[in-house]
C-alpha cells in the first residue's frame, strides 16, 4: 500500500481492480476542509485517461509492473509480434492494445512491453523516436524555421506538423508522448 501523498509521476497503482499510471498529480490544501490529491491517471488496460480525486492520506495498492525489453518484429494481420531480446520468446499483441503506439513503431525497434501478473498490458515507447518523412510538400526558398508549419506524413503513417524547411526523405526526431516534431535527426 502507498499513500496518495507519496504519488510520483510514472507510479503504477491499482484502484477498483484496474491498473493505472500516474500522469500528473496536485496536492490541494483548501482554506476550509481537508486536504486532497487531484490526479490524472492512465488506465493501462484500455489506455483511457481519467481524473481522480483522493482524500489526503488515503492508501492505494501499488501495482508491480514488469517491463520486459522486447523487439518489434512484424505485423501479422491485426496481431503484432514482439520478441524478448533475452530468451527469444515471442508474444503477440492485438492492434487495439497498441493502437496509439503503432504510429511510432518500426520493425526491429526495441521497446518495453508492460506486464502485470502475467497479463500483457501494452507497450512503453522511448521518449523520442527517429522517423523518415515519406511525404510532404517541398519547401520554398526563403522559408524560415519560425515561419509556420506544414503537414508531413512519416514512414509509419503518422502525420506531424513540421517547419517549412523539412523535405521528403529527411529523418526527424518525434516526441512520442505528444506526437510532435522535435528536431532533425
Q: What is the pLDDT of residue 158?
A: 92
Nearest CA to 47 among 110, 116, 123?
A: 123
Flag whether pLDDT at 142 surpasses 70.
no
How is residue 23 written as a grid cell? 500522469
Burial 49-58 (b: 16+ CB within 10 A, else e): eeebebeeee
Across 152-169, average pLDDT: 90
Q: Which residues, at least 6 apart from 143, have a Cβ–Cβ distance to it below 8 Å?
A: 163, 164, 165
Flag whether pLDDT at 138 surpasses 70.
yes
Q: What is the pLDDT of residue 90?
A: 92
Q: Is 86 left (phi over 0), alpha (psi -120 to 50) or beta?
A: alpha
How is residue 9 written as a grid cell? 509521476
Amino acid at each position: 500500500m502507498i499513500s496518495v501523498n507519496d504519488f510520483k509521476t510514472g507510479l503504477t497503482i491499482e484502484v477498483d481492480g484496474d491498473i493505472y499510471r500516474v500522469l500528473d498529480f496536485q496536492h490541494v490544501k483548501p482554506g476550509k476542509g481537508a486536504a486532497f490529491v487531484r490526479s490524472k491517471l492512465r488506465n493501462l488496460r484500455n489506455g483511457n485517461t481519467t481524473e481522480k480525486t483522493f482524500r489526503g492520506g488515503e492508501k492505494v495498492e501499488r501495482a508491480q509492473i514488469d517491463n520486459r525489453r522486447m523487439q518489434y518484429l512484424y505485423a501479422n494481420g491485426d496481431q503484432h509480434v514482439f520478441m524478448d531480446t533475452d530468451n527469444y520468446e515471442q508474444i503477440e499483441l492485438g492492434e487495439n492494445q497498441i493502437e496509439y503506439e503503432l504510429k511510432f513503431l518500426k520493425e526491429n525497434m526495441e521497446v518495453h512491453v508492460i506486464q502485470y501478473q502475467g497479463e500483457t498490458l501494452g507497450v512503453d515507447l522511448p521518449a523520442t523516436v527517429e522517423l523518415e518523412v515519406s511525404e510532404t510538400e517541398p519547401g520554398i526558398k526563403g522559408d524560415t524555421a519560425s515561419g509556420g508549419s506544414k503537414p508531413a506524413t512519416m514512414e509509419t503513417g503518422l502525420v506531424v506538423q513540421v517547419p517549412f524547411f523539412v523535405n521528403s526523405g529527411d529523418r526527424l526526431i518525434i516526441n512520442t508522448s505528444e506526437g510532435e516534431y522535435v528536431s532533425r535527426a
